[in-house]
A and B are shown apart, each in its own frame.
Chain A
Amino acid sequence: MDKTVKEPLIHITKRRMVSKKREWTVRIVSILLALIVCAIVTAVTTHLNPFAVYASMWNGSFGSERKMWVLAKELAILLMVSVALAPSFKMKFWNLGGEGQVLAGVLATAACMVYLGDKMGNAGMIPLSLISAIALGALWAFVPAFFKAKWNTNETLFTLMMNYVGIQLVAYYIIKWESPKGSGKVGIINQNTQVGWLPSLGGKPYLLIVLVAVLVTVLMYIYLRYTKHGFELSVVGDSQNTAKYVGIKVDRVIMRTLVLTGAICGLTGWLMVAGTDHTITTTLAGGRGFLGVLVAWLAHFNPIGMLLSGFLIVFMSRGASEISTAFGLNKAFGDILTGIILFFVIGSEFFINYQIHFRKSHRKEAADV
């Protein structure tokens, strides 16, 4: 028998304890590396000076008070969507339907404003549109949850298809409501009467949205961490069998959690129509349903952490939209940079959770023992 055992060059083990310090060092290093790669990609594809690009990205986010408010608004909306999606993903329900659930809220709000705009004042309109947006958003999430709970229907594709159903429904109503006729756009709804528009607090149009987002984030943190519901859904996420064994009604938890997710998405849609955009388009959700998943996942479903990961993504996309206007490039450049950063951060998890031993160091360890 051949006694020399062939030892692999690298040997990987799981770390038992990961210190917070190590976790953050790895993350920050990975983001820095990602920014360097982004700079190289930018320089190679566009022949621009990467420092100039980053300077103008910084300027795009923090250049003026207005830009900072836009950044805050974008972050607030993305954060709301991520916070909404967090409980479903913590339950391992792969809800890719955030897009459609937000659009459902958008559609309900716009419908109230269009059909009842001349029949009631703001006192009736604002609560009515809020309730209908939350209800329709919740319904959009409940349908796939129901089938998942009853028959274990594939939720990833179901929620995804609900997005397109939602988009087509919005497209249908846009043509019905278009003004002027034939433009293919709805335009600003109730421009003269401003019925259904949210008031701007202290002259700052986006302040209300930011406050609502902060409130929802804090409430979700408490819900996930300190309530029975939050505990139950994390048990369902870890093991459905364990959940059944301890007497948790799994199907009820699934439906309840998704109704919550859909309701917050609907609320987000309401804020977008009633609070900022005052119109409806099929692209109003703007990919946030997908980005929200990534934001939530990167933060390990911790609502406070989502603030950081959300900020990173919003900063990149605001910055990229600034460079695309400043240097005359296509807006999609931001998605490329976001993608690169995501790859690095996703990859960095490995270096947090696993340890690599090279052949040499492994032998030394053996000698020490």
Chain B
Amino acid sequence: MFSLVNFIPRAIVQSIPLLLGCVGETLNEKSGSLNLGIPGVMYVGAISGVIGSFIYENSGSPFNPVIGVLIPLLACLFGSLMMGLIFCFLTVSLRANQNVTGLAMTTFGVGFGNFFGGSIMKLTGSDVPSIALSATSKAFKTGFPTSLQHGAVGQLLLSYGFMTYIAIIIALVTNYILKKTRTGLELRAVGENPATADAAGININRYKYFSVCIGCMIAGLGGLYYVMDYANGVWSNDAFGDRGWIAIALVIFCIWRPNVAILESILFGGLLILYLYLPTGTNFATKELYKMIPYIVTIIVLILISIRNKKDSQPPEALGLPYFREDR
């Protein structure tokens, strides 16, 4: 039977990859970079972590939970950083079109994830049949002691792995930095009007590089969370699906505010699994129709936002435009 205490924790687990992707993309967009490569970045982040922990788990040395968490974490951050650097180099230094670069990154990243996900056993010559990183996953799921996880409050608030809380902290900190600090102010200036920011002595390229790279690293963590926490360390190709794209859509819905994104991604996490709770009987076909719900809701919200057309719900003004000082 349907119970909220059962449903909400599952929605939250679904929401964390969306949240991290959304916060990462917000950081990108605040600097004026519309990064459509985020789905690819999340794949690369996930598979980099998987490769790291796969090599560690199969190295034969006894499993140490701290190292077992650190290796995939660092590998994931490194992989996503590389993707961020590719995007920056092409769009900031070489002034390429952001949308096209992003799409190429998504093609590359998804291919990268699926290739190594499907071939790592063969490439490393190991004899395990599939990628199932149960020890690493168990380490990633450490959270509050089990004695605290009983009852409604315990289940709703305390039953998650540590990355869930880190993700929420990242969202809050990003929000704080964007709104309350000088760095955030300058970053927003870069995204709104780079020429003015440049005249004020702000180093445009440095801001763009840093915000895109950090944003990509945050998004990459979303991919890692999906594999290690949600999927119990089991990698299957294309399982991550379109969450990267939904994360990009969420940026518009949260009107570029990471703190709003927290609740909103939980809502969308719920929509993603709602079809499991809707009664279908034995008719499997209807279930496929129910899976449309998150996309239809996305479309409706997009339309409503555009019809209301409020002044404070506009994207950064220079979003998607390359900046070239001499180009005036």
**Residues 172 to 198 of chain A near chain B (Cβ within 8 Å):** 172-176
- Give A285 to B43 CA distance when docked, in angstroms: 21
Q: Knowing A164-B292, A172-B288 are in contact, say whether A157-B104 is a contact too (CB < 8 A).
A: no
Residue in A12, A294, A333, A349 whose beta carbon sits within 8 Å of that of B111 in the complex: A333
Q: Knowing A14-B327, A154-B306, A165-B296 are in contact, say whether A339-B105 is a contact too (CB < 8 A).
A: yes
Name which of B237, B252, B292 has the most chain A CB atoms within 10 A of its CB. Answer: B292
Q: Knowing A297-B97, A339-B108, A346-B97 are in contact, say whether A151-B248 is a contact too (CB < 8 A).
A: no
User: B302 contacts A154, CB within 8 Å?
Assistant: yes
User: Is A162 positioned at the interface, with any CB of B under 8 Å from its CB?
Assistant: yes
User: Is B200 positioned at the interface, with any CB of A under 8 Å from its CB?
Assistant: no
User: A336 contacts B123, CB within 8 Å?
Assistant: no
Residue in A158, A342, A350 whose beta carbon sits within 8 Å of that of B94 in the complex: A350
Name which residue of chain A comes closest to B118, CB basis.
Answer: A330
Q: What count of chain B residues pass the 8 Å CB interface test?
A: 55
Residue in B107, B118, B286, B306 whose beta carbon sits within 8 Å of that of A287 in the complex: B107
B301: shortest Cβ distance to chain A, in Å?
10
User: Is A68 positioned at the interface, with any CB of B under 8 Å from its CB?
Assistant: no
Name which residue of chain B comes closest to A313, CB basis.
Answer: B107
User: B111 contacts A338, CB within 8 Å?
Assistant: yes
Q: Knowing A154-B252, A161-B295 are in contact, say whether A297-B111 is a contact too (CB < 8 A).
A: no
Chain A residues closer than 8 Å to B113, beta-carbon distance: 332
Chain A residues closer than 8 Å to B117, beta-carbon distance: 330
User: A335 contacts B111, CB within 8 Å?
Assistant: yes
- Give A354 to B95 CA distance when docked, in angstroms: 10
User: Is B3 positioned at the interface, with any CB of A under 8 Å from its CB?
Assistant: no
User: B100 contacts A297, CB within 8 Å?
Assistant: yes
Task: Name the prevailing secondary structure of the B interface residues.
Answer: helix
Chain A residues closer than 8 Å to B252, beta-carbon distance: 154, 157
User: Is B285 positioned at the interface, with any CB of A under 8 Å from its CB?
Assistant: yes
Q: Knowing A287-B107, A338-B107 are in contact, say whether A350-B306 is a contact too (CB < 8 A).
A: no
B121: shortest Cβ distance to chain A, in Å?
10
**Residues 28 to 85 of chain B near chain A (Cβ within 8 Å):** 36
Chain A residues closer than 8 Å to B109, beta-carbon distance: 339
Chain B residues closer than 8 Å to A294, beta-carbon distance: 100, 103-104, 107
- Give A331 to B97 CA distance when docked, in angstroms: 28
User: B306 contacts A172, CB within 8 Å?
Assistant: no
User: A160 contacts B245, CB within 8 Å?
Assistant: yes
User: B299 contacts A175, CB within 8 Å?
Assistant: no
**Residues 193 to 248 of chain B near chain A (Cβ within 8 Å):** 237, 242, 245, 248
Task: Name the interface size band of chain A.
Answer: 35 or more
User: Is A213 positioned at the interface, with any CB of B under 8 Å from its CB?
Assistant: no
Q: Knowing A157-B252, A290-B106, A350-B95 are in contact, say whether A175-B118 is a contact too (CB < 8 A).
A: no
User: A161 contacts B96, CB within 8 Å?
Assistant: no
Name which residue of chain A comes closest to B101, CB basis.
Answer: A346
User: A339 contacts B111, CB within 8 Å?
Assistant: yes
**Residues 293 to 338 of chain A near chain B (Cβ within 8 Å):** 293-294, 297, 328-336, 338
Chain A residues closer than 8 Å to B94, beta-carbon distance: 346-347, 349-350
Chain B residues closer than 8 Å to A171, beta-carbon distance: 288, 291
User: Is B142 positioned at the interface, with any CB of A under 8 Å from its CB?
Assistant: no
User: Is A147 positioned at the interface, with any CB of B under 8 Å from its CB?
Assistant: yes
User: Is A241 positioned at the interface, with any CB of B under 8 Å from its CB?
Assistant: no
User: Is A168 positioned at the interface, with any CB of B under 8 Å from its CB?
Assistant: yes
User: Is A291 positioned at the interface, with any CB of B under 8 Å from its CB?
Assistant: yes
Chain B residues closer than 8 Å to A175, beta-carbon distance: 284-285, 288
Chain A residues closer than 8 Å to B123, beta-carbon distance: 45-46
User: B106 contacts A330, CB within 8 Å?
Assistant: no
Name which of A157, A173, A329 has the most chain B CB atoms within 10 A of its CB. Answer: A157
B198: shortest Cβ distance to chain A, in Å?
14
User: Is B90 positioned at the interface, with any CB of A under 8 Å from its CB?
Assistant: yes
Name which of A45, A94, A153 has the most chain B CB atoms within 10 A of its CB. Answer: A153
- Give A335 to B114 CA distance when docked, in angstroms: 9
A56: shortest Cβ distance to chain B, in Å?
17
User: B108 contacts A335, CB within 8 Å?
Assistant: yes
Residue in B86, B284, B291 whose beta carbon sits within 8 Å of that of A168 in the complex: B291
- Give A153 to B119 CA distance when docked, in angstroms: 41
User: B115 contacts A158, CB within 8 Å?
Assistant: no
User: Is B312 positioned at the interface, with any CB of A under 8 Å from its CB?
Assistant: no
User: Is A231 positioned at the interface, with any CB of B under 8 Å from its CB?
Assistant: no
- Give A247 to B119 CA distance when docked, in angstroms: 57
Q: Knowing A153-B302, A347-B96 are in contact, say whether A165-B90 is a contact too (CB < 8 A).
A: no
Q: Knowing A332-B114, A334-B111, A350-B95 are in contact, say whether A168-B306 is a contact too (CB < 8 A).
A: no
User: A147 contacts B100, CB within 8 Å?
Assistant: no
User: Is A343 positioned at the interface, with any CB of B under 8 Å from its CB?
Assistant: yes
A-B contacts, 19 listed (Cβ < 8 Å): A14-B324, A96-B103, A153-B305, A153-B306, A154-B306, A156-B36, A164-B295, A165-B299, A168-B295, A172-B286, A328-B122, A330-B114, A332-B118, A338-B107, A343-B86, A343-B90, A346-B96, A346-B100, A346-B104
Seen from chain A, the residues whose Cβ lies within 8 Å of a Cβ on chain B are: 12-14, 45-46, 94, 96, 147, 151-154, 156-158, 160-162, 164-165, 168-169, 171-176, 287, 290-291, 293-294, 297, 328-336, 338-340, 342-343, 346-347, 349-350, 354
Seen from chain B, the residues whose Cβ lies within 8 Å of a Cβ on chain A are: 36, 86, 89-90, 94-97, 99-101, 103-115, 117-119, 122-123, 237, 242, 245, 248-249, 252, 284-286, 288-289, 291-292, 295-296, 298-299, 302-303, 305-307, 309, 324, 326-327
Q: A293-B103, A335-B111 are in contact. List 7 more A-B contacts (CB 8 A).
A: A14-B324, A152-B309, A164-B295, A294-B107, A333-B115, A346-B101, A350-B94
